[in-house]
Amino acid sequence: MKRLFSVFFALITMLLPLSVAFAASDSEIEALRGTTLYVYNWGEYISDGADGAIDVNAEFTKKYGIKVVYDTYDNNEVMYSKLKSGGVSYDVVIPSDYMIERMISEDMLEKIDFDNIPNFSYIPEKYRNLDYDPTGEYSVPYTVSYVGLIYNSKMVEEAPESWTALWDERYTNNILMFNNPRDAFAIAQSILGQDYNMDTEEGWRVAAALLKEQKSVNPVYVNDEVFLKMESGEAALAPYYVGDYYLMKENNDDLAFVYPKEGVNYFVDAACILKGAKNKLAAELYLNFLNEPDIALANAEYICYGSPNSAVYDNPDYEYYEDELLYPEEGAFKTQLFTNLPPKILALESTLWDDVKNYNATGSSYRSLFFGENTSASIDNGEAFTSETIKYGICIGVFLLAVIAFVVFRAVQKRRREKY
């Protein structure tokens, strides 16, 4: 019976036109039946069968009989820390450009056998061998997209053109900001006309000072909460990825999007195979599967990010066919890719980011819960002792004194009582 089934399966696969070019023989693929593939991807980054779309992982399992264990992460750094700390073993990950470069340099990725990925032919030359993977041996592009400025046209009077709108005092309390250092610094760097990948410490300090200055408009640092806050009209301005703008616009039609004139970050997320992957051939099948025209189309329409797959973006039935924001003309605005930063700059970036987060220019305090007051203070670069710190220090000191006074009082009272 089992044999009959495999013969039947072999017949079906032979009839499928796409299986023709596989380097791995059908019997090798057949042998993978019942095995498991571990995939680690961004949240909300694959078509999962909602609203009648294709459930990519389920389809993969149906086609190859390989079970997919699928986990998600919020950002590159979380993914990196998790992989580095050990204790997890995945086969496929989909990091962004600069992280791929870092992982290649730290020998965390496995070379891909492109003979097993015939669908790679759909990836045009311009998305191959990019700076992060110059030899093109480690990654298969998954999405390409840009960062831009989302704004609520009901709350913002004139359409912003510049990133400096995020520093505009008119929108105090209504500005959102990236809660990760790389993207946040890139905005300041754009305004300052700096290179995103500069390796001068002074430049990073200047950018950090600009980010501190932004505290006077009380920015809210968000990750995924950006959806809730922009859709409900809670915030007026938010820097975010263009693909997600389309998702938000479905729920709030007042939202609009602009590419600021100072330039934006252009990024590529690409699928890679991890060193020591236990199921490498299955991982390659998966990478190939992601680039099947119908699967790539389903993903592109679900994620709403740009697709590097020509079978998708040349398809007139594609929802975002020739979309101006997702596929802008080359050179329409300034773009920069992230590259991996040297360890010294990375360490500096994370301490500077701690400083920025820690810095409180507004003096907005617990009392504002009741009075809604917001007293602006000037920017000082004194690292530790701001007025806020002194205030908390005094409060704690007074509290401790009160407690000690109480204890002493009790002790005296007790002694007096014992006299009788």
Partner 1 sequence: MNRRSSLNSKLTVSPYIIWAALFIIAPLFFVVYYSFTTSAGDFTLENVQALSKYLPTFLRSIWFGIEATLICLIIAFPTAYIIAQKTDKIQRTMVMLVMLPMWMSFLIRTYSWMAILQDTGIINTFLTKLGIHPVHMINTGGAVILGMVYNFLPYMILPIYSVMAKLDYSMVEACQDLGGNRLTVIRKCIIPLSLPGIVSGVTMVFVPSVSTFYISQKLGGGSFDLIGDVIERQFQQSYNYNLGAALSLVLMILILISMAFMNKFSDEGEIVI
Positions touching partner 1 (CB under 8 A) are 75, 77-78, 80-81, 84, 173-174, 177, 179-181, 215, 218-222, 225, 228-229, 232-234, 347, 350-351, 353-355, 357-358, 360, 362, 364-370, 372, 374, 383-386, 388-389, 392-393, 395-396, 399, 407, 410-411, 414
**219 Cβ neighbours under 8 A, 6+ residues apart:** 166, 175, 176, 177
If the CB atoms of residues 8 and 399 are measured against partner 1, the closer one turns out to be 399
Nearest to 30, CA basis, from 274, 281, 292: 281
CA-based R_g, the chain, Å: 27
How many other C-beta atoms can be found within 10 angstroms of the C-beta atom of residue 381? 10
Cα–Cα distance, 119 to 141 (Å, whole number): 12
Assigned token pair, 158: 């004139």
Rounded to a whole number of angstroms, the minimum distance from the CB of residue 389 to partner 1 is: 4
Rounded to a whole number of angstroms, the minimum distance from the CB of residue 173 to partner 1 is: 6
Rounded to a whole number of angstroms, the minimum distance from the CB of residue 331 to partner 1 is: 34
If the CB atoms of residues 89 and 368 are measured against partner 1, the closer one turns out to be 368
Cα–Cα distance, 229 to 269 (Å, whole number): 25
- Which residue reads 């006077």 in tokens? 216
If the CB atoms of residues 12 and 400 are measured against partner 1, the closer one turns out to be 400
If the CB atoms of residues 261 and 275 are measured against partner 1, the closer one turns out to be 275
Rounded to a whole number of angstroms, the minimum distance from the CB of residue 391 to partner 1 is: 9
CA angle 203, 205, 211 (to 5 degrees): 110
Helix H segments across 262-386? 280-290, 293-303, 310-313, 343-358, 368-371
Give whole-number Cα distances, 261 to 242, 247, 250, 410, in Å: 15, 24, 26, 68
If the CB atoms of residues 262 and 388 are measured against partner 1, the closer one turns out to be 388
Rounded to a whole number of angstroms, the minimum distance from the CB of residue 267 to partner 1 is: 18
Rounded to a whole number of angstroms, the minimum distance from the CB of residue 189 to partner 1 is: 18
Rounded to a whole number of angstroms, the minimum distance from the CB of residue 156 to partner 1 is: 15
Cα–Cα distance, 351 to 340 (Å, whole number): 17
If the CB atoms of residues 205 and 229 are measured against partner 1, the closer one turns out to be 229
Cα–Cα distance, 276 to 265 (Å, whole number): 32
DSSP 216-230: GG-PEEESTHHHHHH
If the CB atoms of residues 2 and 417 are measured against partner 1, the closer one turns out to be 417
